[in-house]
Structures are given as structure tokens and as C-alpha cells.
């Protein structure tokens, strides 16, 4: 698909689309800059990218296990009652037909079941009897996005309220895992800390206010605009203040700021012009912005982690040693105590598996230890990267003047 160019032939930004231009007319001149920076920092995932990425990620999680961990039973995470119990009172793991993104994920689950076969995945395990007869060892819950982590935690608790499931897990007969396409750092930290899950596997992490390429003053201005123009202070920055920046072709998460999703607001110029309409987006807008990602400012990220000298030298170092650029970035962020793969992925604007791969390369080179802490060799490499490459010039100076020797050696 070709996309209309923006300024200077670059990819069209959300603020440059017809919907973006109209939406910016809601704001006073003093607030328009922050509002523009907000929508230009959104991450758009097309249905094709989401489906292909989710299929690869889920397949990787299922196949990189020992035979003792197989087979697994897959389920699409969906909203559940706060006090419900799975397989009790009519509650089943089947996705309701009225589901939105849950049905998309359920379709991916079914495709994965067909691709993996019964050796890795047991399909159609919709009852306790089937789980027992097929000796399922892992319950794998699948979802597209976790902004606060609420939905994934509530879903897991419906299973753990079932005494049979709770007993199996206590006896180490089964484990419960969560597979996510994307998650905010806040949600991921909350999910990893919860006793509900034995493993959380995420493909993309970040894509929220704290992870954006903003200065603190810009972040404060954007939060102020969100609060000023939202109908109420509650949820102004997304559900539970999760401050999400992710947009899917199949759904608009409620973790986005309210001013991006609302159809009514506090515009001083009359009727509010929406950008999205609640949980849906105009198809023409999604076509214009398919797989749009905000620009990644490497120098700003390095300065934010306390590496101004490295930021100043990074462009020259990248040109002279391109194969080491990402490893140096990992060293810089690890030195700033961002050591988990999810933290590194959010800081570098890459996927979590890519961050894991770079970290392993750094470990193989002896620059990081197994706890992702810099070794002596790693600190030395980081110091070397901060130095600007030396420029050596010849000591001879050219001249256009004719040369006449002052002395001539006499003949013998």
C-alpha cells in the first residue's frame, strides 16, 4: 500500500490527515501544540501486522518449551464478572458472540491450534473433563493489549476460583500463562507481580506517556490538555490513568486519552470535532495511517537516561561502527538500571524479542552478565563509545607558490 507523503516527502502524520486537522481545531492556540504532539505520538497497528505478529509470537511461545510443558490449551481473554468462576454458573471460556477484539484473537487462537497440532496444543478444551483427559499442562490466555492489566487479571481469577483448577496448579500439574501482542510498562509490571500467572509473554512494550519521546515539560502540557478538554477528570488520560498510545485497526482501546476518543467535549469554538468515535475509527483514516509509528529520537533517549556525551557522539559512532550501535544503546540503558527486556524494548523502540536477542549478543561478547549488568568490558566499551572518533590530518600543507631552494649542493 502506498501512503500520501507529508511534509518534505515524509510519511503522513496523524495531525496532517483531514481528521487530524479538523480535530486540532477544537483547541485554543496555546494548547494546539500539545494536542498535535499527542496524536503524532500514537502507534497504529494494521490488521495484517497484528495478525501476522500475533501468530508468530504465539507460535514461538508454544514451541519453545520442553515436552513436559505440552500440550497447552489456548483461550482468548474476554471481559468477565469480577466474582465469576469458570465452568460454574454458566461461565465458559468460549468468547461471547458479541465480542469485538476478543473474536479477532479467538480467530488467531483457532489458526494456531490448526498449525501446531495436538503435540503442542489441544484444541476445543471447553470443559474440565477435556482438560483432564487430554492431560493439558498449560493454560495459555491470549489478548491483544494490556493497558492497565485489569481485564487479564480478572479473567485469570475466574479460572483460579475453580477449586479443580486451583488444585491442579497447586500440585504443579498445570501452569497459567498470558500472551500479549502489546502492553504498557505499568500493566506488564502489575501482571508480572501477580500470583495469577506463571509467565507473561509480550511482543511489544511501551507506547504510553512515560515511554514517549517527550521532555517532562511536554508531558506535563499534554496531561494538562487531556484534563482540560475531557468531559470529566476521571479517565481523562485513559482507563485508570493508563495513558496509552496504541491504536489497532480492529479496536480503539479505552486506555487512550479521552480527548482522542470522545464525541463531545469542552471546545471553546462550538461543537466538538472527534478524531476517533469511541471504540471505532474511520476506515479511511486507518488506511492513511496503517502501521504508522512516531519517529524515534535516539539522541533524546540517550540524554534522558543520563548519557549526554554518548548522545553527542552517537551519530559518528553509528557511522563508524554500525554493527555495535544497538548493543551500545543497550549498554547505556542497562547502565541506567533499565535491565529487563521489556524496559529495553520500550526505551529502544523495538520488540521485546529483539531486545532479548541484542542482550544475548552483548552477553556473548562479555559486555553484560546474566543479570544484564555491565561487566568491566561493558563499562570500557561504553566509555569508548562516548569519545568522538579522532580526525587525523596530515602535517604537510600544500602551497601554490613556486619552490626555489635557498641552497644548492655544490658539484664535486
Q: Are 61 and 141 in contact (CB under 8 A)?
A: no
55, pLDDT greater than 50: yes
pLDDT at position 399: 58
Mean pLDDT of 44-53: 94
Q: Tell me which H or E stretch contains 283.
A: helix 283-288
> In angstroms, rounded to a whole number, what is the distance separating the alpha carbons of residues 123 and 126?
9
Q: Compare 202 and 263 and report the one with higher pLDDT.
A: 202
Sort 322 into a burial class: Cβ within 10 Å, 0-12 / 13-18 / 19+. exposed
Q: Residues 316-325: what's their mean pLDDT?
A: 65
Least confident interval from 91-95, 96-100, 200-204, 295-299: 96-100
Q: How many CB atoms lie within 10 A of CB 373?
A: 12
Residue partners of 404: CB distance under 8 A and separation at least 6:
none
pLDDT recorded at residue 96: 74
Residues contacting residue 383 through CB under 8 Å, at least 6 positions apart: none
Residue with cell 519453545: 64
Q: What integer is the mean pLDDT of 245-270?
A: 90
The average pLDDT across 387-400 equals: 57
Cα–Cα–Cα angle for 50, 327, 215, nearest 5°?
70
pLDDT at 98 over 70: no
**How confident is the model at residue 4, as a pLDDT?**
42
pLDDT of residue 8: 43
Q: Is residue 410 very low, low, confident or very high in pLDDT (cuts 50, 70, 90)?
A: low
Residue 311, pLDDT above cutoff 60 = yes
Query: Which of 16-20, 79-83, 125-129 shows the lowest per-residue confidence on average (mean pLDDT)?
Result: 79-83
DSSP labels, 143-202: EEEESSSHHHHHHHHHHHTSHHHHHHHHTTS-EEEEEEEEE-HHHHHHHHHSTT-SEEEE
Q: CB burial class (10 A; 0-12, 13-18, 19+) of residue 302?
A: buried
Confidence of residue 319 (pLDDT cuts 50, 70, 90): low
Specify the range with the lowest mean pLDDT, choosing from 61-75, 141-155, 350-364, 386-400. Answer: 386-400
Task: Count CA atoms within 13 Å of residue 136 on its CB side.
Answer: 27
Give the mean pLDDT of 202-213.
93
In the prediction, which pLDDT does 389 show?
55
Query: Residue 262's Cα: distance from chain center in Å?
Result: 24
> % helix / strand / coil in the chain, to the nearest 5?
45, 10, 45
Interior angle at CA 66, CA 199 and CA 141, nearest 5: 35
Give the total residue count for the chain.
Answer: 412
Burial label, 337 (beta-carbon count in 10 A; 0-12, 13-18, 19+): exposed
Comparing 26-35, 254-263, 328-337, 386-395, the range with the smallest average pLDDT is 386-395
Q: Which residues of 176-190 are buried (b: 16+ CB within 10 A; e: fewer)?
A: bbbbbbbbbbbbbbb
pLDDT, average across residues 189-198: 96
pLDDT band at residue 3 using 50, 70 and 90 as cut-offs:
very low
Distance CA 385, CA 317 (A): 7
DSSP 151-162: HHHHHHHHHHTS
- Banded model confidence at residue 321, pLDDT cuts 50, 70, 90: low
Whether the link from the prior residue into 71 is cis, omega within 30° of 0, is yes
CA 205 – CA 211 distance, rounded (Å): 9
- The mean-pLDDT minimum among 37-51, 103-117, 163-177, 214-228 falls in 103-117
Question: Which has the closest alpha carbon to 109: 143, 141, 136, 74?
Answer: 74
Confidence label for 64 from pLDDT (cuts 50, 70 and 90): confident
Asked whether 212 and 191 are in contact (CB, 8 A), the reply is no
Residue 9 has pLDDT above 50, yes or no: no
Query: Is 80 exceeded by the pLDDT of residue 406?
Result: no
- pLDDT, position 297: 81
pLDDT at 7: 43
User: What does the block give as the cell for 311?
Assistant: 548522545
Q: Which of 12-26, 39-53, 272-286 has the lowest mean pLDDT?
A: 272-286
Of residues 169 and 7, more confidently modeled? 169
Neighbouring C-beta atoms of residue 227, cutoff 10 Å = 15
Model pTM score: 0.85
Amino acid at each position: 500500500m502506498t501512503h500520501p507523503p507529508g511534509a518534505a516527502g515524509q510519511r503522513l502524520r496523524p495531525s496532517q490527515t483531514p481528521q487530524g486537522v479538523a480535530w486540532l481545531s477544537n483547541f485554543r492556540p496555546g494548547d494546539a501544540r500539545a494536542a498535535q504532539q499527542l496524536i503524532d505520538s500514537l502507534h497504529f497497528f494494521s490488521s495484517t501486522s497484528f495478525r501476522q505478529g500475533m501468530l508468530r509470537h504465539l507460535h514461538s511461545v508454544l514451541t519453545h518449551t520442553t515436552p513436559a510443558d505440552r500440550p497447552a490449551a489456548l483461550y482468548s481473554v474476554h471481559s468477565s464478572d469480577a466474582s465469576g468462576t469458570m465452568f460454574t454458573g454458566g461461565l465458559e471460556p468460549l468468547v461471547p458472540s458479541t465480542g469485538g477484539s476478543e473474536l479477532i484473537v479467538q480467530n488467531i487462537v483457532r489458526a494456531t491450534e490448526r498449525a501446531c497440532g495436538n503435540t503442542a496444543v489441544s484444541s476445543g478444551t471447553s470443559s474440565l473433563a477435556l482438560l483432564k483427559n487430554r492431560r493439558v499442562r498449560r493454560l495459555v490466555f491470549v489478548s491483544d493489549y494490556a493497558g492497565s492489566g485489569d481485564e487479564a487479571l480478572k479473567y485469570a481469577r475466574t479460572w483460579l476460583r475453580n477449586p479443580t483448577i486451583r488444585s491442579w496448579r497447586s500440585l504443579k500439574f498445570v501452569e497459567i500463562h498470558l500472551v500479549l501482542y502489546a502492553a504498557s510498562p505499568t500493566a506488564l509490571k502489575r501482571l508480572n507481580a501477580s500470583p495469577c500467572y506463571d509467565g507473561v509473554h509480550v511482543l511489544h512494550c511501551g507506547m504510553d506517556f512515560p515511554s514517549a519521546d517527550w521532555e517532562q515539560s511536554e508531558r506535563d502540557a499534554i496531561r494538562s490538555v487531556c484534563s482540560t478538554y475531557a468531559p470529566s477528570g476521571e479517565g481523562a488520560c485513559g482507563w485508570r490513568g493508563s495513558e496509552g498510545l496504541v491504536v489497532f485497526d480492529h479496536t480503539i482501546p479505552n486506555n487512550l486519552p479521552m480527548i482522542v476518543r470522545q464525541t463531545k467535549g469542552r471546545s471553546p469554538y462550538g461543537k466538538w470535532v472527534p478524531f476517533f468515535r469511541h471504540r471505532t475509527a474511520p476506515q479511511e483514516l486507518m488506511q492513511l495511517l496503517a502501521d504508522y509509528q512516531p519517529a524515534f529520537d535516539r539522541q533524546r533517549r540517550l540524554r534522558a537516561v543520563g548519557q549526554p556525551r554518548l548522545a553527542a557522539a552517537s551519530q559518528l559512532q553509528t557511522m563508524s561502527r554500525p554493527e555495535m550501535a544497538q548493543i551500545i544503546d543497550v549498554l547505556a540503558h542497562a547502565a541506567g538500571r533499565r535491565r529487563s527486556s521489556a524496559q529495553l524494548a520500550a526505551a529502544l523502540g523495538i520488540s521485546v524479542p529483539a531486545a532479548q536477542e541484542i542482550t544475548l549478543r552483548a552477553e556473548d561478547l562479555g559486555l553484560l552478565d546474566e543479570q544484564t549488568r555491565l561487566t568491566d568490558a561493558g563499562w570500557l566499551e561504553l566509555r569508548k563509545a562516548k569519545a568522538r572518533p579522532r580526525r587525523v590530518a596530515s602535517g604537510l600543507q600544500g602551497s601554490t607558490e613556486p619552490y626555489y631552494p635557498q641552497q644548492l649542493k655544490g658539484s664535486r
